[in-house]
């Protein structure tokens, strides 16, 4: 029985990596692991491992150690209960609805991912209309190399051990399957939510009772900086600056500090630390303003109140004050930002979703001259998958939520491009001073064209 194509395109058995033949005992597995699991459970087989119970199980070596094979079956989530005690044939069991749901989830995920290209094209189109891209900007002689080393490169480690590539914590068993001949590393879980296959028995990739959060989202949350810690850090740094700063330059200092924390966050983040430093720099140079804007927006949506702008420092500034003191361009930007905040508020976007969006922004495969675009692409796809899955679990009654979030992201991108242009113009007028990272970032993109 060929498994219906389309539902799962190139799904591999989570136990041995062989071709999947359908759902067996709780998840998609290959025919041989299905049979192996059945024999083991039906006949109450007991195996022993002659090694250290950590044998690698793949298609060619799966026969070698039945102990570790069975262990892996259980670890990836195969269900003992699905093997029938009475050996009754045919029919359906209680897992039926679960399979159906998982299949629907996968299908939606695939179709969204397939639409990704189109969506990105249209969003970059949107962004480019707001930028005078063709003629290179004013010839300002500002060489990064003649200055002190750019702060981003000092913030990023100068070298990474090569062995670090594609590796995560040694404790977790991330299976990375390369697709075709390119080095597109792709972590793919078999059942819903199984992004992480670990030997930890608590990380059951599939749960029948109650909704659960995708593992990737949980990992993102775990590494997301704590708002109050960030607050303290930036507040102390701001106090050190003090002096004759007007509101705008104070905001710039704040942006600069926030940028530092964004770089720190990225450095410590899963996936990002696997990249070469050159790629890390390219990604950050490309998306810094988007991340900065998302930081501001998410703060308003999660903690802010209407009519005022909540700063990292927990200070509140009346919007009306900002608008009447701002020049017309800035006022427009603030108003547009306000609209975007409202859109996120209507959606009631939560921390989980913002943290996924952060990763979607960071891992942008459209960035030019990436060494390892395949990896960036695969991360982007995984994050999209996790976000989609999260939205389907958290608000199953609203299927369009994921698409709406992506729409907001695309608007955020065009707004950040406008904001970046605005900052760049003010920088050219020497109105932004003493903000190393901010200035480096402002120059990075312009020196590329």
Please enumerate, by residue number, every residue annotated as part of a binding site: 422
1 forms part of the interface with DNA (CB under 7 A): yes
Question: Which segment (30-38, 122-130, 290-298, 344-352) binds DNA by CB under 7 A?
Answer: 30-38
| Phi-psi sector, 94: left (phi>0), alpha (psi -120 to 50), beta | alpha
Structure token pair of residue 62 = 């799966």
CA atoms within 13 A on the CB side of 147: 14
Closer of 92 and 305 to DNA (Cβ): 92
Whose tokens are 């080393």? That residue is 149
Query: Which of 8, 14, 23, 192 touches DNA by CB under 7 A?
Result: 23
- How many residues bind to DNA according to rule CB under 7 A? 38
Closer of 3 and 174 to DNA (Cβ): 3
- Give residues 298-317 in contact with DNA (rule: CB under 7 A): none
How far apart (Å, rounded) are the C-alpha atoms in residues 64 and 72?
A: 13
Question: Which segment (20-28, 116-124, 134-142, 322-330) binds DNA by CB under 7 A?
Answer: 20-28
Give the nearest distance from C-beta 34 to DNA in angstroms: 7
How far apart (Å, rounded) are the C-alpha atoms in residues 415 and 362?
A: 16
30 forms part of the interface with DNA (CB under 7 A): yes
Under DSSP, is residue 309 helix (H, G, I), strand (E, B) or coil? strand
Query: Which of 4, 202, 222, 305 touches DNA by CB under 7 A?
Result: 4
Query: Which of 58, 93, 233, 261 touches DNA by CB under 7 A?
Result: 93
Query: Interface mask (CB under 7 A) for DNA, residues 34-73, using x and -?
Result: xxx-xx--xx-x----------------xx--x-------
Closer of 104 and 399 to DNA (Cβ): 104
Tell me which DSSP letter residue 173 carries: -
Question: Which segment (22-30, 180-188, 262-270, 307-315) binds DNA by CB under 7 A?
Answer: 22-30
How far apart (Å, rounded) are the C-alpha atoms in residues 172 and 174?
A: 6
Which residue ranges are tagged as binding site for a phospholipid derivative? 422
Q: What is the largest CA-CA distance in the chain?
A: 82
The answer for residues whose C-beta is within 8 angstroms of residue 297's C-beta and 6 or more apart is 337, 340, 341, 344, 412
**Which candidate, 36, 106, 103, 23, places its Cα nearest to that of 73?**
36
Convert 161-200 to b/e letters by CB count within 10 Å (16 or more is b): eeeeeeebeeeebebeeeeeeeebbbbbbbbbbbbbbbee
Question: Which segment (86-94, 285-293, 309-317, 332-340) binds DNA by CB under 7 A?
Answer: 86-94
The answer for residues whose C-beta is within 8 angstroms of residue 287's C-beta and 6 or more apart is 361, 362, 364, 367
- Give residues 120-179 in contact with DNA (rule: CB under 7 A): none
Question: Which segment (76-84, 228-236, 263-271, 382-390) binds DNA by CB under 7 A?
Answer: 76-84
Query: Which of 87, 202, 222, 305 touches DNA by CB under 7 A?
Result: 87
Residues that bind DNA (CB under 7 A): 1, 3-4, 18, 22-26, 30-36, 38-39, 42-43, 45, 62-63, 66, 82-84, 87-93, 95-97, 99
């Amino acid at each position: 029985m060929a498994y219906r194509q389309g539902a799962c395109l190139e799904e591999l058995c989570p136990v041995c990596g062989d071709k999947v033949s359908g759902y067996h005992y709780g998840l998609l597995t290959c025919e041989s692991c299905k049979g192996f699991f059945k024999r083991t459970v039906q006949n109450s087989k007991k195996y022993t491992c002659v090694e250290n119970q950590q044998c690698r199980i793949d298609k060619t070596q799966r026969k070698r150690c039945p102990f570790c094979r069975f262990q892996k079956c259980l670890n990836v989530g195969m269900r003992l209960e699905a093997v029938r005690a009475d050996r009754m044939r045919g029919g359906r069991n209680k897992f039926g609805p679960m399979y159906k749901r998982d299949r629907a989830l996968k299908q939606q995920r695939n179709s969204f991912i397939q639409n990704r290209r189109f969506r990105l094209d249209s969003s970059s189109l949107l962004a480019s209309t707001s930028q005078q891209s063709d003629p290179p900007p004013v010839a300002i002689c500002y060489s990064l190399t003649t200055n002190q080393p750019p702060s981003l490169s000092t913030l990023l480690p100068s070298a990474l051990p090569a062995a670090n590539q594609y590796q995560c914590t040694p404790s977790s068993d991330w299976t990375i399957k390369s697709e075709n001949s390119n080095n597109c590393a792709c972590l793919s879980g078999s059942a819903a939510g199984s992004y992480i296959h670990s030997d930890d028995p608590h990380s059951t990739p599939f749960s029948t009772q109650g909704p659960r959060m995708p593992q990737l989202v949980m990992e993102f949350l775990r590494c997301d900086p704590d708002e109050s810690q960030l607050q303290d850090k930036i507040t102390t740094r701001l106090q050190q600056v003090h002096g004759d700063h007007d509101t705008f330059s104070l905001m710039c200092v704040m942006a600069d500090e926030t940028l530092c924390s964004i770089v720190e966050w990225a450095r410590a983040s899963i996936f990002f630390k696997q990249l070469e430093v050159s790629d890390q720099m390219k990604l950050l140079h490309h998306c810094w303003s988007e991340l900065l804007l998302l930081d501001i927006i998410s703060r308003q949506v999660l903690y802010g109140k209407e009519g005022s702008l909540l700063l990292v420092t927990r200070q509140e500034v009346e919007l009306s004050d900002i608008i009447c003191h701002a020049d017309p361009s800035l006022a427009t930007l603030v108003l547009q930002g306000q609209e975007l905040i409202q859109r996120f508020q209507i959606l009631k976007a939560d921390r989980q979703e913002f943290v996924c969006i952060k990763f979607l922004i960071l891992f942008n495969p459209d960035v030019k001259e990436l060494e390892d675009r395949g990896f960036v692409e695969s991360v982007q796809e995984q994050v999209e998958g996790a976000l989609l899955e999260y939205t389907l679990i958290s608000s199953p009654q609203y299927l369009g939520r994921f698409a709406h979030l992506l729409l907001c992201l695309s608007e955020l991108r065009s707004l950040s491009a406008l904001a970046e242009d605005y900052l760049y113009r003010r920088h050219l007028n020497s109105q932004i001073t003493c903000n190393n990272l901010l200035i480096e970032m402002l120059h990075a993109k312009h020196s590329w064209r």
